Amino acid sequence: MEKQSLSGMKKSEAKKVYVRRRVLLALIVLLVAIGIALVILSLPRASMSAANKTPNDTSLLPPPIFEEMPVLPVFNEPEVNDTVPEPVENCTLAPIEELGCLIENVGISIFGATGLNVDDRNVKNLIKLVERECDTDNADGYVDRDCIIDTVVYNSENSWVCEWECLEDLASCETYKMHLAVQIVRRYIPADEIFVARTQNFNFFLVYKDNQGQWIQKFAYGISRPVVEALYNDFYHAGPMTEVVFPDILELDAGDKFCFDIYATRSCVCSVEVQPFSVGDCPELPADLRGICDKPINEVYLNTGKNQICFTVAENATEGFYTYNFELTSGEDYIPAGNAFMKKREWDCCVNDSFKGFLSIED
């Protein structure tokens, strides 16, 4: 009985083990089947989703890849100056070719000075003399250039530079005569046929084309081969232009009063400060003009608008030709205090003005 009961128990346990294994196997098969089914069901959706994407949709594109570009060495190519100088149009060469082309004058010219203008009385008188003495009828193209030049140079004595001995060392009178000759001859001949020539040492002579068409150097004062730095007349120049200053020339008698106009934008005080202005041996006035004037002026008080600084020639002033040059400046005033100085006051000049010229005093 016991043997049958043990045998029955073993068979019952073996059956349970068998059943568990079959159930486990069935579960595994079921899970695998479910997995396969899920995979199969997902494939058509992915294909349709991909088919519905437009070409411009970048959601399925891989992210861009940024690569560093290799740094290439930079070589500076040599600069090539390919600028071609522009040709000068209508170039009229100066009679001294190394000076290049003639250039039209711009700005202030010496031919605008007093005594050189064709409207000045002495110039008008010389023109009348020239037209009496020389052939100036250019209707047939002939003008006696040599006659005009000689007549002007040897008959022009009416300029202030010819009247004062203190200017003789500068050859001022001769220089004036040459410029006047050019100014008058230019009334009858083209502008490119007569010039004043200036050397490096500021000697002057004439260069002009005579009636035979030859270039002539006249009044060069024995200079065989002068080094010319510039040529010029009232219309053209070649070489560097000369700076020109037109000073006032005041002709006064003893006891006369002369004034300078000053314009101010506001009220202020200015000092009268002298500056050097030496011309030849002509005497230079001191800052207060004490040499020939009464009541020297050191400061001037200006109001808004037009003002005047006036001087009076002393009754006992010495006859002569004087230069003057003064400017209005700001200033300071100090007073002594022990071993030091204290600033008492200061003033700001409201104008930037200066005055330069000549005084011709008659006794």
Q: Measure CA 208 to chain center.
A: 34
47 falls within a domain: no
68 falls within a domain: no
Contacts of 144 (CB under 8 A, 6+ apart): 134, 135, 136, 211
CA distance linking residue 280 with residue 291, whole number of Å:
19
- Tokens linked to 180: 């006047």
25 falls within a domain: no
278 falls within a domain: yes
pLDDT of residue 11: 56
pTM of the entire predicted model: 0.63
13 falls within a domain: no
Domain that holds residue 140: 97-238
pLDDT of residue 286: 65
Tens-level pLDDT at each residue, the chain (363 residues): 444 444 555 556 666 666 677 767 777 777 777 777 676 666 544 344 434 444 444 444 444 433 333 433 443 444 555 554 454 567 888 998 889 999 998 888 898 888 888 888 889 999 999 999 998 876 677 889 999 999 999 998 878 888 888 888 888 899 999 999 999 999 999 999 999 999 888 889 999 998 888 999 888 766 566 788 999 999 999 998 878 878 778 888 888 888 889 999 999 999 888 787 888 888 877 655 656 666 667 788 999 999 988 888 888 878 888 888 888 998 888 888 888 888 888 888 999 888 888 888 876
Q: Are residues 120 and 222 in the same domain?
A: yes
Q: Are residues 206 and 115 in the same domain?
A: yes
- Domain boundary residue, one of 213, 238, 263: 238
Q: Are residues 208 and 252 in the same domain?
A: no
CA distance linking residue 290 with residue 286, whole number of Å:
7
Residue 358 half-sphere exposure toward CB, CA atoms < 13 A: 21
Q: Are residues 120 and 148 in the same domain?
A: yes
pLDDT of residue 266: 93
- Tokens linked to 153: 């140079």
Q: Are residues 108 and 224 in the same domain?
A: yes
Q: Are residues 314 and 189 in the same domain?
A: no
Q: Are residues 120 and 223 in the same domain?
A: yes
pLDDT of residue 62: 42
What are the two backbone dihedrals, phi and then psi, of residue 26, each rounded to the nearest 5 degrees? -65, -40
Q: Are residues 114 and 181 in the same domain?
A: yes
- Domain boundary residue, one of 183, 206, 238: 238
| CATH number, domain with residue 309 | 2.60.40
- Domain boundary residue, one of 179, 203, 238: 238
pLDDT of residue 296: 65
178 falls within a domain: yes
Contacts of 41 (CB under 8 A, 6+ apart): none
Q: Are residues 173 and 210 in the same domain?
A: yes
Q: How many domains does one find in the chain?
A: 2
CA distance linking residue 325 with residue 272, whole number of Å:
10
pLDDT of residue 208: 94
pLDDT of residue 294: 62
Q: Are residues 281 and 331 in the same domain?
A: yes
Q: Are residues 309 and 233 in the same domain?
A: no
Residue 243 half-sphere exposure toward CB, CA atoms < 13 A: 2
The DSSP result for 179-232, as a single string, is HHHHHHHTTTS-TTSEEEEEETT--EEEEEE-TTS-EEEES-TT-SS--EEEEE
CA distance linking residue 186 with residue 200, whole number of Å:
25
255 falls within a domain: yes
37 falls within a domain: no
Q: Are residues 210 and 277 in the same domain?
A: no
CA distance linking residue 23 with residue 212, whole number of Å:
142
